[in-house]
Structure 1
Amino acid sequence: MRILAIICAVFGTLWAAPAAATEEDFNVWTAQFIFFNLDEDKDWYARFEAQERFTDDADRLGQLLLRSFVGYRISDAVNVGGGYAYILTDPVGPVEVNEHRIYQELNVTLFDNGNGIRLTSRNRLEQRFYEESGSTGWRYRNLVQFIAPITERNSIVLYTEPFIGLNDVPFNREGVANWRNFAGVSFPLTRELSFTPGYLNQYVVRDGEDRVDHIVNLAVFARF
C-alpha cells in the first residue's frame, strides 16, 4: 500500500528529529471519548472526553483534562463546532496550573476510498485562560490522521499534530510549542465501542532543554 508506506516514512522522519533533546520522560495517558447525535437528522452532535495523563515515569497524575464540544455536519466530509475544556496541570516542583480553554474546530475528510482508508484533518483554534495569569493565550493545532484497515476488523491509526502558539504570554509559547506523533491500532469491542492503544511521541519546546515524552496512549471511543 503505497500511501501507507509514504506516511510511515514521514512519521519516521518526525520521530527521529527529537533525538537531540536531552530530557525524556515515560508517560501513560488514558482517554475516554463519547460521541452522540443531538437531532434526528444527525446534523448536530456532541462530544465529551476525559483524559488522565500519568507523568514522571507514569508515577503520578500530572494532568487531568475534561473537554466538551458541539458540532454541526455541513456535509459528510465537513463539520464545524466549538467547545470548552478544563485542564489541571500539576507538574513536579512548580505550582499547579488551572486552565480554562475555549476552542473552535473545522474537521475535514481529505480522502475516503469507501473501503476504510481515510485521511482527515482537524483544525483547532484555542483561546487559553489561566487562573494563575491574567493573559489569554492563542494557539492553533492541526491534526492530520490516516486510518487504514489491516484486518477485517482492525485498522491502523497514524496521526501528527503540531501545536503553534499565536502569541507569547505566560503558559503559551509563540511558534511551535510541541509536536505529537501517534501510531496505534483500533480494535472494535462492540458495535458502539472501540479501543485504540498505541505509542505517542511528544516533543516539547522549552526555554532550557527541550523534552521528549514517550507515551503509552490508551483511548476508548463510544459512539451512539
Structure 2
Amino acid sequence: MRALSFLCAACAALCAAPAAASEEDFNVWTGQFIFFNLDEDKKWYARLEAQERFTDDADRLGQLLLRSFVGYRISDAVNVGGGYAYILTDPVGPVEVNEHRIYQELNVTLFDNGNGVRLTSRNRLEQRFYEESDATGWRYRNLVQFIAPISEHNSIVLYTEPFIGLNDVPFNRDGVANWRNFAGVSFPISSEFSFTPGYLNQYVVRDGEDRIDHIVNLAVFGRF
C-alpha cells in the first residue's frame, strides 16, 4: 500500500504542478493492443499496437503510432524483449516528422496479491531515428502501473510515466521531456478483449512555454 500511496501522490503532484504553463490542449487518443503467444510453452509472445492521437481540440489526426514487440518470459514476474515502432507526427504547420524507433523493454511485476491487485514496472530504452535528421535520440521511459478490482468484473488502472532524454539532439530533449499520468477503469468485453477508458494528463517540456494535454484515452486490449 505504500507503493500505491506514492503512485497516487506522484500523479496528483504532476497534475497540479504545471499550473504555470500557459498552453493547454484537449486530445482524444485511441489505441488497439493485441498480445499473443508464439510457442506452446508460452515463453515467447508478441505485442502489436496502433495508436491514433487526435490533437488541437481533437480536431485532427496529429500523430499515428504503429508498434511491434517480441518478448520472452523469464518468469511469471519478469519478461524482456525488443521491438520497432513507426511514428508519424503531423503538427499544425509545415513540419511533418517521420520517426523510426528501436527499443528494448524490461517488464517486472513488483507486487501481486493473487486477487487482481498488481503493481508493475515497464522499463523502456529507445533509440529514435528521424528521416528529417541524421541524429539518433536516446530516451528512457519508466511506466509504473497499479491495477486493483473495484467490482466483480471491473478494475481501476493508474499509471505514471516520465520520459527522460539521455542526449540532446533535434527532436530529442535531454532530461525530462514530458510526463504522463493516467487514471481509468478496465471493462471486459469478452473473454479475450477488454476496454479501458480514462483520463490522461501529459505535461510537455518545451524551449518556450510548456504545454499540458488533457486527453480522453480509449484503449482496447486483446489477449490470445
Deviation at 1:19, TM superposition (A): 1.4
Q: 1:94 to 1:163 in 2, by over 3 A?
A: farther
4+ runs deviating over 2 angstroms: 1-10
Q: 1:5 to 1:174 in 2, by over 3 A?
A: closer
TM-score between both structures, scaled by the size of structure 1: 0.98
Match runs of 1:122-133 below 5 Å:
122-133=122-133
> How many aligned positions are there?
224
Match of 2:110 in 1: 110
- The one-letter code sitting in structure 2 at the alignment partner of 1:148 is A
- CA distance in 2 between counterparts of 1:3 and 1:129 reads 35
In structure 2, the gaps of 5 or more residues are none
Deviation at 1:95, TM superposition (A): 1.1
- CA distance in 2 between counterparts of 1:18 and 1:216 reads 19
SS in 2 for 1:171: coil
SS in 1 for 2:200: strand
Question: Is it true that 1:82 corresponds to 2:78 in the alignment?
Answer: no
- CA distance in 2 between counterparts of 1:94 and 1:22 reads 23
- The one-letter code sitting in structure 1 at the alignment partner of 2:129 is F
- CA distance in 2 between counterparts of 1:199 and 1:51 reads 16
Match of 2:163 in 1: 163
Cα deviations by residue, 1:90-144 (Å, 9 ceiling, x for unpaired)? 0001410000000000000000000100000000000000000000000000000
- The one-letter code sitting in structure 2 at the alignment partner of 1:223 is R
- CA distance in 1 between counterparts of 2:114 and 2:56 reads 42
Match of 1:69 in 2: 69
Deviation at 1:11, TM superposition (A): 1.7
Question: Is it true that 1:191 corresponds to 2:196 in the alignment?
Answer: no
Q: 1:125 to 1:3 in 2, by over 3 A?
A: closer
- CA distance in 2 between counterparts of 1:164 and 1:63 reads 20
- CA distance in 2 between counterparts of 1:20 and 1:184 reads 26
Deviation at 1:9, TM superposition (A): 3.2
- CA distance in 1 between counterparts of 2:202 and 2:160 reads 10
Match of 1:27 in 2: 27
Deviation at 1:10, TM superposition (A): 3.1
SS in 2 for 1:115: coil
- CA distance in 2 between counterparts of 1:89 and 1:2 reads 38
SS in 2 for 1:168: coil
CA contact (8 A) 2:10 2:160 kept: no
Deviation at 1:4, TM superposition (A): 4.8
Q: 1:151 to 1:2 in 2, by over 3 A?
A: farther
In structure 1, the gaps of 5 or more residues are none
- Kindly report the root-mean-square deviation, in angstroms, between the aligned alpha carbons of the 2 structures: 1.1
- CA distance in 2 between counterparts of 1:123 and 1:185 reads 23
